[in-house]
Structure formats: C-alpha cells, structure tokens
Amino acid sequence: MADRRKLAAGNWKMNGTADTLGMVETLAGAHGEARSELLICPPATLVHRLAGAVAGTSIAVGGQDCHWEETGAHTGDVSAAMLADAGASHVILGHSERRADHGETDAIVRAKTQAAWAAGLTAIVCVGETLAEREASNTIDIIGGQLAGSLPDQATGLNLVVAYEPVWAIGTGKVATADQIGEVHDEIRRRLEKRFGAGVGRSVRLLYGGSVKPDNAAEIFAVENVDGALIGGASLKADDFGGIIAALDAA
C-alpha cells in the first residue's frame, strides 16, 4: 500500500473576510503539530492574507477555482499563476457548485487542471453524483465519466488529489454511508491505477467531502481508500475543523 499522507482540506466557499482569519491562528496553535497535512482554501480575496497569516505554520493555502489561461481578457477571473503568486500551493477544481453555477464541463475542468499544473499547483479535482443519478443507479458511471473527462494524462501523486463529493451530501447534513463511500473510493482507486499505472494510481490521495463533522469523521476515515476530507461548513470553525483533524490523525 502506497504511503499516502492524510490531508484535511477546508473549503471556505464564499465565506470569510479579514476577521475570519483569527480562527486560523487558533487552529495553528492547536494543530500545528498534526500528522496530517492541513490546507485551507479561502475565497480568492483572502488567499494572499491567509498565506501571510500561516507563514511559519504547517498550514497550506489553496484557491477554489482558476481560469485555464495564464493571463488575458477574462474579467473577474483569477489564473493559477496568480494564485501561486499570492501564496497558494493547491487549487480546488470542478467543485459541483462550480459545475452547477458556472456550467463547468469535464473538458473545462481538465483544461483548468492543466493550467494549475503549469503553475506548479496541486489540483484537487472534485467528482460526485446528484441524488437523481444515485437513485437511478448511475453513480459509478457518472464518477467514471467525470474522472475520464476531467483528468489530464500527466497526473502524479504530487500534482493530483481527487475529492469524492456526492452532491446530495454537500451542506445538507446528509452523509454518505461508509459502504457508499467505500464503494466509490475503491472504484476511483481502480480507475486511477488502470489509467495512470499502479504506482501513480496508488499514490493519489482520495478525499471524501459532504457534511463531514467531528462526530462522523472517525467513521468516514476508517473507510479504506479515504485519505482525508474536503470540508465545507465545519472548516470555518476552529473547534469543528480541529475535531476533524484530530480524528484524521487518529485514523
């Protein structure tokens, strides 16, 4: 089994202003020595400030999206190179909220992933089925299609993390069961190994996301092929994020 370092990644979504950064100090104080890798992805406006605030701690900073081009006439967009310049080391791509709100297709996510890699960022590529797709027993096909379409060929265990986020479990308090998570994560692992070879396929970390909280984290982290979590709401509170980090460290 490949030696995959666990990763707890917070996705603040469109939440956070300068006064939110105080919780990061609390978090760094309590979990600066965590065995797991820690990452916070604030809104783009806070990337640079957060990078300054966590300098000297083990917490890394990521963006939540980037454009596929490096510069140009794209009003309102931010490029991967700009995120890197602001102090980010990671970027979330293809989150279901961007796929739904901004019509992002697998091809767009793939182009963005390539741009992220060109800028030296690790891409956290999100996949996940809707409730209707799950109820129609299409989950594995949907995830397989998203992986095939969204991931460029040059994936490595360092430049890629895959996050499985069932759309119906995001922000709803509904968590996928351990069996549901295990089935999808095993399938993602198999597909990564088949496409990229066993070495790369085994070294890419797989995160679960969707209503992860301190009280359900241990059960989720006990599932095979779950290497951490992508955490929304709970990542905005130092106590909740800290509880999840503690559960991941103990897993």
Judged by the rule CB under 6 A, the positions of this chain that interact with ligand 13P are: 11, 95, 165, 170-171, 209-212, 230-234
Tell me the residue number closest to ligand 13P, measured at CB: 232
Give 3-state DSSP helix, strand, coil % of the chain, rounded to 5: 50, 15, 35
Nearer Cβ to ligand 13P (160/200) = 160
Six-digit token string for 159: 């430049």
Using left for φ > 0, alpha for ψ between -120 and 50, and beta otherwise, residue 56 falls in left
Element (H, E) at 41: strand 37-41
**Cβ atoms of residues 78 and 42 within 8 Å:** no
Q: Of these residues, 97, 129, 165, 185, which one is catalytic?
A: 165
Catalytic site residue 48? no
Nearer Cβ to ligand 13P (170/246) = 170
CA separation for the pair 228, 220 (Å, rounded): 9
Give me the least distance between CB of 17 and ligand 13P, in Å please.
18
Catalytic site residue 95? yes
Give me the least distance between CB of 234 and ligand 13P, in Å please.
6
Nearer Cβ to ligand 13P (113/211) = 211
Q: Of these residues, 31, 67, 90, 95, which one is catalytic?
A: 95
CA separation for the pair 69, 49 (Å, rounded): 24
Nearer Cβ to ligand 13P (81/83) = 83
Positions marked catalytic? 95, 165
